Amino acid sequence: MSNTIAQPMNPMLPRTLFNADHQAFRDTCRRFFETECLPHDERWQEQGHVDRTIWNRAGELGLLCVTMPEQYGGLGVDRLYSVILLEEQARIGNSSLGLALHSDIVANYLNNFGSEELKSTWLPKMATGESVGAIAMTEPGTGSDLQSMITSAVSDGDDYIVNGSKTFITNGVLSDFVVVAVKTGDGDKGAQNISLLLIEAGRAGFTKSKTLKKVGMRGQDTCELFFDNVRVPKSNLVGKEGVGFIALMKELAWERIIISIMSISSAESALAMTLQYTNDRKVFGKPVASFQNTRFKLAEMRSEVQIGRVYVDRCLELVLKGELQPDAASAAKYWCSDLLSRVVDECVQLHGGYGFMLEYPIAKLYIDSRANRIFGGTNEIMKEIISRTM
């Protein structure tokens, strides 16, 4: 019983974003996650990475880079298709496969800022799963303060020579290339010193650590990257030299909405599994769900998750129109990931001791969900961004 997927609860307010085509796509995604990911996830967590073949399978089913233009192997569809993938992945509690990072972050950098050559070389391979992408900003010495990064790319004729290291890189071990934030300028130009450079795995001097041992998300091949005099052609620049920071800031708003979607969908999933569990579990001769404390806790959580869902859906309407502002995205990211932490903690409590056993999906969600408050910019940085607009 512990590993069954709870039926999602009906929303209090109907959602208005999706049409029949979206629904058909949702069915395909649901089948993929339920039949091709869920049965392997425990093994993926033990080995510290997904099977490489699952990327090819996702590509075969048309689930990678869906919003990319058709000429580059995508489906050319709107971002709601990405949202559906995120929601369905969260529904089964899969944190191993870095699909969104590959399709909705790395591919976006290439498509929005990359040269024609980079786009036509990499995007079609990303869409089939032949190539897996990663993005590397964070360094051992700096994460929040990106302008303090030290990984350097020094000009040498038509090439750069790259030195430095990056850490906590999602999809790192299995990645075939990484879009790396590097310092191409010197001294006091601040943000204008930063550029994005595509670096292929296998270039001389580019090495990776093993999967980092994390508290949660154990099937995700997060790792460190090391660059020791790596020679990279200047044609691998993603965007012009010196515009890396601006590109990062542009894409980070969408990345924050991705984390909000993951957070709200995971909170809905936590709630659904807790409703089911507390109805099944009997204490003092009656279901846990029958105690007033349980009913009130569930009612409070359902209300808050619903309110969060409406805010995220409204942000998505603005994403579709290209009008979402960074402060609204930051508010969504911090509030929804905080909400997820509160909800999951309460749901663990309502499971009693079983909530602490990894065999139960709520326990896995408890350890997996913590990172949402840290990655994509910490929640403290989100509040900085919001406060600057006041």
Ligand X SMILES: Cc1cc2nc3c(=O)[nH]c(=O)nc-3n(C[C@H](O)[C@H](O)[C@H](O)COP(=O)(O)OP(=O)(O)OC[C@H]3O[C@@H](n4cnc5c(N)ncnc54)[C@H](O)[C@@H]3O)c2cc1C
**Is 355 near ligand X (CB under 6 A)?**
no
**Is 378 near ligand X (CB under 6 A)?**
yes
- Find the binder of ligand X among 6, 37, 162, 371 (CB under 6 A): 371
Q: Which is nearer to ligand X, 134 or 362 (CB)?
A: 134
The whole-angstrom separation of Cα 197 and Cα 91 is: 34
Q: Which is nearer to ligand X, 251 or 313 (CB)?
A: 251
Question: Rounded to the nearest 5°, which phi and psi values hold at 344?
Answer: -65, -40
**Is 217 near ligand X (CB under 6 A)?**
yes
Helix, strand, or coil (residue 182): strand
> Is there a contact between 256 and 247 (Cβ–Cβ < 8 Å)?
no
Q: Which residues within the stretch 221-260 sit at the binding site for ligand X (CB under 6 A)?
A: 222
- Find the binder of ligand X among 380, 387, 388, 389 (CB under 6 A): 380
> Is there a contact between 137 and 179 (Cβ–Cβ < 8 Å)?
no
Q: Produce one character per residue of 177-214: b if its CB has 16 or more CB atoms within 10 Å, e if not.
A: bbbbbbbbbeeeeeebbbbbbbbbbeeeebebeebbeb
In the complex, which residue's CB is closest to ligand X? 143
Query: Nearest approach, Cβ of 380 to ligand X (angstroms)?
Result: 3
> Is there a contact between 90 and 265 (Cβ–Cβ < 8 Å)?
yes
- Find the binder of ligand X among 72, 160, 245, 375 (CB under 6 A): 375
Q: Which is nearer to ligand X, 137 or 153 (CB)?
A: 137
Query: Nearest approach, Cβ of 51 to ligand X (angstroms)?
Result: 20
Q: How many residues bind ligand X (CB under 6 A)?
A: 20
**Is 170 near ligand X (CB under 6 A)?**
yes
Amino acid at 318: L
Helix, strand, or coil (residue 142): strand
Q: Which is nearer to ligand X, 34 or 338 (CB)?
A: 338
Centroid of chain to Cα 96: 10
Question: Rounded to the nearest 5°, which phi and psi values hold at 5?
Answer: -90, 125
Q: Which residues, listed in sequence order, are joined to residue 139 by a DSSP beta bridge?
A: 142
- Find the binder of ligand X among 82, 94, 121, 138 (CB under 6 A): 138
Query: Nearest approach, Cβ of 179 to ligand X (angstroms)?
Result: 10
> Is there a contact between 107 and 65 (Cβ–Cβ < 8 Å)?
yes
Query: Nearest approach, Cβ of 136 to ligand X (angstroms)?
Result: 5
The active-site residue out of 87, 88, 139, 255 is 255
Binding segment toward ligand X, per CB under 6 A, in 15-23, 33-41, 167-175, 340-348: 167-175
Centroid of chain to Cα 168: 13
Q: Catalytic site residue 255?
A: yes
Query: Nearest approach, Cβ of 156 to ligand X (angstroms)?
Result: 25
Query: Nearest approach, Cβ of 204 to ligand X (angstroms)?
Result: 23
> Is there a contact between 185 and 149 (Cβ–Cβ < 8 Å)?
no
**Is 280 near ligand X (CB under 6 A)?**
no
Q: Which residues within the stretch 297-336 sit at the binding site for ligand X (CB under 6 A)?
A: none
Select from 139, 44, 149, 61 the least CA-distant residue to 98.
44
Select from 105, 112, 109, 125 the least CA-distant residue to 197.
109
Catalytic residues, which ones? 255
Footprint on this chain of ligand X (rule: CB under 6 A)? 135-138, 142-144, 168-170, 217, 222, 371, 374-375, 377-378, 380-381, 384
